[in-house]
Chains A and B, each alone.
Chain A
Amino acid sequence: MSRPPSCILSSILWVKQLAIRLGCKRPQPSRWLSRLRERRQSNRYANFKLTKWLVSGPPLLFLLLLVAAPGAITVLASFRYPGEFGGLAPLVAADPQTLQGVTLETYRFFFGDFIYAEVFVKSLFMALVTTLICLLMAYPLALLIAHSPKKSRNPMVLLVVLPFTSNFLIGIYAWMIILGPQSALSQMLNGMLHLFGIAPVQLLFSPFAVLVALVYAHLPFMALPLYTNLEKHDPALLDAAQDLGANAWQRFWRVTFPLSQPGIFAGSALVFIPVLGMFAIPELLGGTGDMLVGNLIKEQFLGTRDWPFGSTLSILLTVAVLLIVWLAARLAGRGGRYA
């Protein structure tokens, strides 16, 4: 049986101490014991620190390298000039004629031209409308699940989530079929419009199609936090309200709704934020005028290859997202006082 060296050392120490003790007039066992304990503890502490860094080091390092560093690069890139053939211009170029160094040009460009700010405002508006529609659709759904018998709640939640385990491009494609000019829906609608003498409308490639798909893609992000909140409500509160003479609407508006505010804000943030960065839905279902921030960013990186400006747009989007998160957290905190 092999022993770790510290054990051997301590046993030697112990024997030595024993000899001293035997020779000594006044035994002092506390001193060596405490010293030994101290060493053991410092050993254990070193081990604890070692395991701590062994466990958290690799993932932390990986994420620092692939999340923090790219983020920092994006910030830096937004202060650079675009390269001649895409990418970034060199910081220090041999030829003094070419663009080089650091600049605020991209930010000046953004705030100097109204078009880009307009796209931001339009995206925020689109995200707001999507969030509101999601809320209107998800609330009854979440309430229905929360008021169902305990046994059927989990399957009902599963039914909400399952469509979203599939690729969101499939959802987009499905709406292309449903809203397409040959679809039953389009034919019916245009047939009715024809009866009233109104020119046929195109459903696909319109803001309407974008909105429908945005709502479709983000509905569970609203429904799930709402459900988690509604499920926790004490049913006795509704009973009490009813006993005190509140009708169904009053029970909802004065009891359930105020209590569910944290869920509403959590869900809204979960819908609002991803919608801001969406580019595939406007591109595939929208017309030429339905560009959102996501499309603008994508265009800068893969189309015109103006990376500094694309980075600037990304930074501004990040700022917008952080502002919204902060706002949602504050509102949720304020709403939380009811709970």
Chain B
Amino acid sequence: MLKQIAIRLGCQKTITKSLVMRSAEHRLAGHRLTERRGPWLWAAGLAAYAFLYLPLTIVVAYSFNDSRLNAEWVGFTWHWYRVLFDDEDMLIAAGNSLLIAAVASLAATVLGTMAGIAMHRYKLKVLTFMVLIPVAMPEILLGVSLLLFFIQVLNLTLGLLSIVLAHITFSIGFVAMIVQARLAAMDESLFEAARDLGASPWQTFRHVTFPLILPAVIAGGLMAFTLSIDDFVITFFTAGVGVQTLPLRIYSMIKIAVTPEVNAVSTLLMLLTLTTIILASRFAPDVLKGKT
């Protein structure tokens, strides 16, 4: 910054003064802004952070605790992870979850990317509305309406297929919004240049649009994957009796009793979603803000 100012000082006389003044003002403003963090603000903010992190820390810590009760620290052990990997039902549930998430996120990525492009390029109001509804409404409403639809209209036996369809439905919106945000941030003249150089619409898409939105598409896909792996409410209504997923299994376990095995599976699940999300935010930095 200083170097730039120095260069400009030497080159352009007319704008120099205002630039230096402005930069000084900016720095001063920034400085005064950070000074506005009084002790009370610090205390309240840090308390909020503690409130957010304390519960998860306890879950992780007790997953290594050598005690049946989640009450006090006894000693370090891998026991609960061994129990976890001997639990046949849990492994089946984990397999189901991964399968559902893989299929659903793949389909949602394709459909969501198309929806994102369509929303950006054709400004279809119906599509935007349909994409936002599952994101904005309480999950339970989508869950019960899908349950009614699958049973009453499609006469479908609830199982893997119904879960996958439900997961695609609520993931499309997230992928579409990430892709649309990326498209909106891009320079429209790039596509015009491609067209002027004689590229057909398909060539423009293949060689210009797609490479540019690819990071957003990947981020959207990873987002859809974590949403699917984590989903409990909609899966709860569309799973039927035969199929278990990891969140459903956790739910039925904590409904009965608190056991450290849940800590272990929670820790692993947290690790998985955390990695995926951090990976996603590498591709599109705003992906986390997009979650709301």
B95 within 8 A of A: no
B169 adjacent to A87 (CB under 8 Å): no
A13 within 8 A of B: no
Interface residues of A in 150-188 (CB under 8 A from B): 150, 154, 157-178, 180, 182-184
Interface residues of B in 37-64 (CB under 8 A from A): 37-38, 40-42, 44-45, 47-49, 51-56, 58-59, 62
B247 adjacent to A176 (CB under 8 Å): no
Interface residues of A in 237-277 (CB under 8 A from B): 238-239, 248, 270, 273-274, 276-277
B165 adjacent to A66 (CB under 8 Å): yes
A307 within 8 A of B: yes
Contacts of A47 in B (CB 8 A): 201
B91 within 8 A of A: no
A298 adjacent to B288 (CB under 8 Å): no
A178 and B263 alpha carbons, distance in the complex (Å): 13
Stretch at the interface among B5-13, B79-87, B120-128, B183-191: B120-128
B2 within 8 A of A: no
Interface residues of A in 204-222 (CB under 8 A from B): 216, 219-221
B153 adjacent to A165 (CB under 8 Å): no
Q: How far is the CB of A167 from chain B (nearest CB, A)?
A: 5
A140 and B138 alpha carbons, distance in the complex (Å): 27
A235 adjacent to B140 (CB under 8 Å): no
Q: How far is the CB of A32 from chain B (nearest CB, A)?
A: 24
A297 within 8 A of B: yes
Given A59-B111, A294-B138; A149-B251 close (CB under 8 Å): no
A284 adjacent to B140 (CB under 8 Å): no
A111 within 8 A of B: no
Stretch at the interface among B26-34, B98-106, B213-221: B26-34
B130 adjacent to A63 (CB under 8 Å): yes
B151 adjacent to A87 (CB under 8 Å): yes
Size bracket of the A interface: 35 or more
A167 adjacent to B140 (CB under 8 Å): no
A177 and B33 alpha carbons, distance in the complex (Å): 40
Given B56, B134, B145, which contacts A171 in the complex, CB threshold below 8 Å? B56
Given A60, A69, A162, which contacts B127 in the complex, CB threshold below 8 Å? A60
Q: Which residue of B lies closest to A140 (CB)?
A: B44
Contacts of B44 in A (CB 8 A): 137, 140-141, 144
Contacts of B166 in A (CB 8 A): 66
A147 within 8 A of B: yes
B270 adjacent to A166 (CB under 8 Å): yes
Given A88-B152, A220-B292; A66-B169 close (CB under 8 Å): yes
Given A149-B30, A162-B274, A273-B136; A175-B55 close (CB under 8 Å): yes
Stretch at the interface among A18-26, A100-108, A309-317: A309-317
Given B138, B201, B247, which contacts A274 in the complex, CB threshold below 8 Å? B138
A235 adjacent to B29 (CB under 8 Å): yes
A58 adjacent to B141 (CB under 8 Å): no
Contacts of A141 in B (CB 8 A): 44-45, 48-49
Given A70-B146, A167-B247, A167-B269; A228-B230 close (CB under 8 Å): no
A28 within 8 A of B: no
A116 within 8 A of B: no
B115 within 8 A of A: yes
A73 adjacent to B29 (CB under 8 Å): no
What per-residue 1/0 map shows which CB atoms of A59-95 lie under 8 Å from chain B? 1101110111111011001000000000110000000
A301 adjacent to B147 (CB under 8 Å): yes
B145 adjacent to A166 (CB under 8 Å): no
B114 within 8 A of A: yes
A55 within 8 A of B: yes
B230 adjacent to A166 (CB under 8 Å): yes
Q: Give chain B's interface residues, CB within 8 Å of chain A.
A: 29-30, 32-34, 36-38, 40-42, 44-45, 47-49, 51-56, 58-59, 62, 69-72, 111-112, 114-115, 117-118, 121-122, 124, 126-127, 130-131, 133-134, 136-142, 144-149, 151-153, 165-166, 168-169, 172, 176, 201, 226, 230, 232-233, 236-237, 247, 250-251, 254-255, 258, 262-263, 266, 269-270, 273-274, 277, 281, 285, 288-289, 291-292
A-B contact pairs, 19 of them (CB 8 A): A52-B118, A55-B114, A56-B122, A59-B111, A59-B112, A59-B114, A63-B115, A63-B130, A63-B134, A160-B49, A162-B277, A167-B230, A167-B266, A170-B59, A174-B56, A221-B292, A223-B48, A279-B140, A314-B140
For the complex of A and B, 6 pairs with smallest distance between CB atoms: A277-B138, A174-B55, A56-B118, A140-B44, A144-B45, A70-B145
Identify 7 new A-B residue pairs, CB closer than 8 A, beyond the known A140-B40, A173-B59, A277-B141.
A56-B115, A62-B168, A70-B142, A165-B288, A180-B258, A284-B255, A301-B147
